[in-house]
């Protein structure tokens, strides 16, 4: 039986306009539902877009305030009658999107492409995880292993993104991989690639301290492009410095920046695979003839799908990826959410967390 | 004689013990469900098997169960959230509802769902009744020019689509299909639709092979009581397939056919087990190893198979009308089972209890 409780939430009304308000306590409507007491919520680049511009694509409207947040961990608070894999008190990582389960992509195993997907913090009405209590279906909650803290539990979401990227790339033993971007996603793509047997992993970023962190955390080679480097320059130099005479087997693009995308196409070997994970400008200049001539395969990667969270947790449990606690740079109180967003906006830290409401 | 709006149901109590019973009309349980008035139902080898043995593998009949699963019907009621179909729509019915939440379901293999509720697999009631409820996404609208009788053939056609997809048949390839029953014949037709240029139909019954030749096969073959290797060698010679067939499909379940299949398939080729016969057989494992054959099972149908089956019929790429031997009244259902058991015709349809 559910006891209605106070449920503080963080609403975004428009660019630069956020406030804390009350949200109804979620009710269990399906026997497979679970209500979670949110412990921590991570800040993602997309949150910064919402904070500064009001959204990506569809924007938040003051007449329809939206609860933000999608990377989260928490503790099971209440369960539906058919829930068998979790019990009250369990610590969980959250997969924050509920697909319809009935459309062709859902039944075809690609639920991340569901057209009716209810994803946390999606305008206009799909509210996010920055609240005390959050409801989702049992199969989208994953019990955290004993040794993993609730703070680290938040990182399972971006790790699942990286797992999805690397599985699409079909990274195999002995491959050479170049990753563009050493933010959270780029770093996690590097460690997941390593766990899948990649040989040389080169991280490229314009920020020297991020590259240094990548070298230490993900054991990658590094490359910092120079200010006036063209895409071809970047590719040529990476190949030279890191002895990739034929080019990289795989490129994972985690910046969305045109120059990096171009560099990725040029650094790839003939027949290689390029995965676009980073989201930047909707349209860019692109070296299309190189794509043809190299007969490369290019795929988009969007969020995560069947088996990604499971594999992410396996990688953590079996220590095939290093502890992700090193990526956590700060923890802000719920009341200071916008400070956490500002921190990320300015590029301070790698992953900034927000504590769930305490009251 | 069934009254109008009847939910007369054809029930298996135990092997060879069937009765007709007026059951309460089913009610829609979910806003995503529809109520279907059943127009026609085909009979499958599995239905006959339950009627004879009361079990298939670990599925055992423990209580009376309505038979039938290959059906087409008309929507008579829709739940409040239903968008893709409306009352009056004629549909082909996909008779298995998966849980949608388990790992196979989420990964796109809902036919492998351990909690699958499949019509006429004990204990789930089948479709040989007046009415049946179904989630809307398992009802496929039939175009105007496709009849409800053809709609009842969509189920075995979807089985064939699933098998042929498992075989990964590409344009220009050669395919050998063991067994010229309805599924084997439909595999030939679907393989052709997928672009296979040589389609060999194999059966021990001359009448079936004659039909196969006129229907969808480019070649036919009658095996003899010799070794699998000898049958395979002669088949390949007579079909002009030196080097072996790209793909071999077994739609018979017969041990000698399965053995011959492995000798027929080329190096690096694909073998798909669609037919169900003995549980354990003697299998030429060395041949599979040396030739690096890929062997796959095929079970029912999954994502996209029914949709493709309807399109194949709608565009005329596969003709299912030719497989319909006859239609009997609902009250004659038991006789129809006996006829199918006796090997009469290809596909017998049973009209729903409310059909005039």
- Please state the ipTM of this predicted complex: 0.87
The pLDDT value recorded for residue B3 is 57
Alpha-carbon distance of B78 to B137, in angstroms, equals 12
Secondary structure, 3-state, chain A: CCCCCCCEEEEEEECCEEEEEECCCCCCCCCCEEEEEEEEEECCHHHHHHHHHCEECEECECCECEECCCEEEEEEEEECCCCCCCCCCCEEEECCEECCCCCHHHHCCCHHHCCCCEECCECCCECCCCECEEEEEHHHEEECCCCCCHHHHHCHHHHHHHHHHHHHHCCCCCCCEEEECCCHHHHHHHHHHHHCCCCCEEEECCCHHHHHHHHHHHCCEEECCCCCCCHHHHHHHHHHHCCCCCCEEEEEECCCCHHHHHHHHHHEEEEEEEEECCCCCCCCCCCHHHHHHCCCEEEECCCCCCCHHHHHHHHHHCCCCCCHHHHEEEEECHHHHHHHHHHHHCCCCCEEEEECCCC
The pLDDT value recorded for residue A4 is 64
- Can you give the CATH number for the domain in which A52 is found? 3.90.180.10
> Cβ of B81 under 8 Å from any chain A Cβ?
no
> Cβ of B135 under 8 Å from any chain A Cβ?
yes
With beta carbons under 8 A apart, name residues in chain A contacting B110. 107
What domains can be seen in chain B, in order of their start residue?
A: 8-141+320-351 (3.90.180.10), 160-297 (3.40.50.720)
The pLDDT value recorded for residue A3 is 56
The pLDDT value recorded for residue A6 is 87
A98 and A168 together in one domain: no
Compare CB distances from A139 to B106, B302, B303 and report the shortest one's residue: B106
Alpha-carbon distance of B66 to B122, in angstroms, equals 9
Alpha-carbon distance of B133 to B27, in angstroms, equals 7
A269 and A183 together in one domain: yes
Residue given tokens 């064939």 in the structure block: B160
The pLDDT value recorded for residue A30 is 95
Residue A191 included in any domain:
yes
A146 and A44 together in one domain: yes
Residue A311 included in any domain:
no
The token duo for A246 is 């034929």
Compare CB distances from A108 to B101, B136, B303 and report the shortest one's residue: B303
Cβ burial of B334 (10 Å; 0-12, 13-18, 19+) is: middle
> Cβ of B32 under 8 Å from any chain A Cβ?
yes
Q: Pick out chain B residues at pLDDT < 70.
A: 1-4
Q: Are A307 and B135 in contact (CB < 8 Å)?
A: no
**CB A214 within 8 Å of CB A232:** no
> Cβ of B137 under 8 Å from any chain A Cβ?
yes
Bridge pairing between strands B90-93 and B59-60: unpaired
Distances (CA, A) of B355 to B2, B11, B37, B129, B318: 9, 19, 10, 11, 26
The token duo for A133 is 């209590």
Q: What is the mean pLDDT of each run of 10 residues along chain A (359 residues)?
A: 76 96 95 98 96 93 96 98 97 97 96 96 96 97 97 98 98 97 97 98 96 97 96 98 97 97 98 95 93 96 97 97 96 97 94 94
**CB A274 within 8 Å of CB A301:** no
Alpha-carbon distance of B218 to A158, in angstroms, equals 54
A168 and A70 together in one domain: no
Q: In which domain, by residue range, is A277 found? A: 159-300
Residue A80 included in any domain:
yes
A114 and A190 together in one domain: no
Residue A308 included in any domain:
no
A124 and A193 together in one domain: no
A133 and A200 together in one domain: no
Domains: count for chain A: 2
> Cβ of B83 under 8 Å from any chain A Cβ?
no
Interface subset of B 299-338, CB within 8 angstroms of A: 302-304, 307
Residue A310 included in any domain:
no
A291 and A173 together in one domain: yes
The token duo for B183 is 């599924």
Q: Are A102 and B32 in contact (CB < 8 Å)?
A: yes
A35 and A90 together in one domain: yes
> Cβ of B102 under 8 Å from any chain A Cβ?
yes
- Can you give the CATH number for the domain in which A267 is found? 3.40.50.720
Residue A68 included in any domain:
yes
A183 and A287 together in one domain: yes
The sign of the torsion formed by the CA atoms of A97, A101, A102, A107 equals: positive
Confirm whether pTM is higher than 0.80. Answer: yes
Residue A127 included in any domain:
yes
Share in percent of chain B as helix, strand, coil (round to 5): 30, 25, 40
A227 and A333 together in one domain: no
Residue A335 included in any domain:
yes
The pLDDT value recorded for residue B194 is 98
A17 and A143 together in one domain: yes
Q: Which residues of A touch B (CB under 8 A)?
A: 32, 101-104, 106-111, 137-139, 305-307, 310
């Amino acid at each position: 039986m559910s006891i209605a409780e106070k449920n503080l939430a963080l609403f975004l009304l428009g660019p630069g306009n956020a406030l804390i308000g009350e949200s109804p306590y979620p009710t269990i409507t399906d026997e497979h539902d679970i209500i979670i007491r949110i412990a921590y919520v991570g800040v993602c680049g997309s949150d910064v877009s919402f904070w500064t511009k009001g959204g990506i694509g569809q924007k938040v409207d003051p007449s329809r305030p939206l609860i933000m947040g999608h990377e989260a961990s928490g503790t099971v608070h209440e369960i539906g009658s058919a829930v068998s894999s979790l019990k009250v008190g369990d610590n969980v990582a959250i997969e924050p999107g509920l697909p319809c389960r009935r459309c062709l992509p859902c039944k075809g195993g690609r639920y991340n492409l569901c057209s009716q997907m209810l994803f946390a913090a999606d305008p206009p009405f799909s509210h996010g995880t920055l609240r005390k209590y959050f409801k989702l279906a049992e199969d989208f909650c994953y019990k955290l292993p004993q040794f993993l803290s609730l703070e680290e539990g938040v990182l399972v979401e971006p790790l699942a993104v990286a797992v999805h990227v690397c599985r699409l790339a079909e990274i195999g033993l002995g491959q050479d991989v170049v990753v563009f971007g050493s933010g959270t996603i780029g770093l996690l793509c590097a460690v997941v690639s390593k766990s899948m047997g990649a040989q040389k992993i080169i991280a490229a970023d314009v920020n020297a301290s991020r590259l240094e962190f990548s070298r230490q955390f993900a054991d990658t080679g590094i490359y910092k492009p120079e200010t006036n480097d063209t895409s071809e320059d970047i590719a040529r130099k990476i190949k030279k410095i890191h002895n990739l005479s034929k080019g990289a087997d795989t490129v994972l693009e985690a910046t969305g920046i045109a120059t990096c995308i171009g560099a990725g196409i040029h650094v790839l070997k003939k027949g290689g695979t390029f995965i676009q994970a980073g989201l930047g400008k909707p349209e860019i200049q692109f070296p299309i003839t190189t794509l043809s001539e190299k007969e490369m395969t290019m795929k988009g990667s969007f969020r995560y799908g069947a088996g990604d969270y499971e594999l992410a947790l396996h990688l953590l449990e079996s220590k095939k990826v290093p502890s992700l606690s090193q990526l956590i740079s700060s923890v802000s109180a719920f009341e200071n959410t916008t400070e956490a967003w500002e921190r990320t906006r300015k590029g301070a830290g790698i992953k900034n967390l927000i504590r769930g409401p305490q009251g | 004689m069934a009254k109008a709006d009847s939910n007369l149901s054809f029930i298996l109590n135990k092997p060879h013990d069937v009765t007709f019973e007026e059951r309460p009309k089913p009610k829609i349980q979910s806003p995503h469900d529809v109520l279907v008035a059943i127009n026609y139902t085909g009979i499958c080898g599995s239905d006959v098997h339950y009627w004879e043995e009361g079990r298939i593998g670990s599925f055992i009949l423990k209580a009376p169960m309505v038979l039938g699963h290959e059906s087409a019907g008309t929507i008579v009621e829709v739940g409040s959230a239903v968008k893709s179909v409306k009352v009056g729509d004629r549909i082909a019915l996909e008779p298995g509802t998966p849980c949608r939440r388990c790992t196979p379901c989420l990964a796109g293999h809902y036919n492998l769902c351990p909690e699958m509720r499949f019509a006429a697999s004990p204990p789930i009631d089948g479709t040989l009744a007046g009415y049946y409820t179904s989630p809307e996404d398992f009802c496929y609208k039939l175009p105007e020019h496709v009849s409800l009788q053809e709609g009842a053939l969509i189920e075995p056609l979807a089985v064939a689509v699933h098998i042929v997809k498992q075989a990964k048949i590409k344009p220009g390839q050669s395919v050998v299909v063991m067994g010229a029953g309805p599924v084997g014949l439909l595999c030939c037709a679907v393989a052709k639709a997928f672009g296979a240029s040589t389609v060999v139909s194999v059966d021990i019954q001359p009448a079936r092979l004659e039909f196969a030749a006129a229907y969808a096969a480019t070649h036919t073959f009658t095996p003899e009581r010799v070794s699998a290797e000898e049958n395979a060698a002669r088949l390949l010679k007579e079909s002009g397939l030196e080097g072996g067939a790209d793909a071999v499909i077994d739609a018979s379940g017969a041990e000698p056919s399965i053995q011959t299949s492995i000798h027929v398939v080329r190096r690096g080729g694909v073998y798909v087990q669609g037919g169900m016969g003995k549980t354990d057989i003697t299998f030429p494992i060395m041949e599979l190893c040396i030739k690096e054959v890929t062997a796959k099972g095929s079970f029912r149908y999954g994502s996209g198979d029914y949709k493709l089956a309807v399109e194949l019929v709608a565009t005329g790429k596969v003709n299912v009308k030719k497989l319909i031997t006859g239609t009997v009244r609902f009250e004659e259902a038991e006789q129809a089972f006996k006829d199918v058991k006796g090997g009469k015709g290809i596909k017998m349809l049973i009209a729903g209890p409310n059909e005039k």
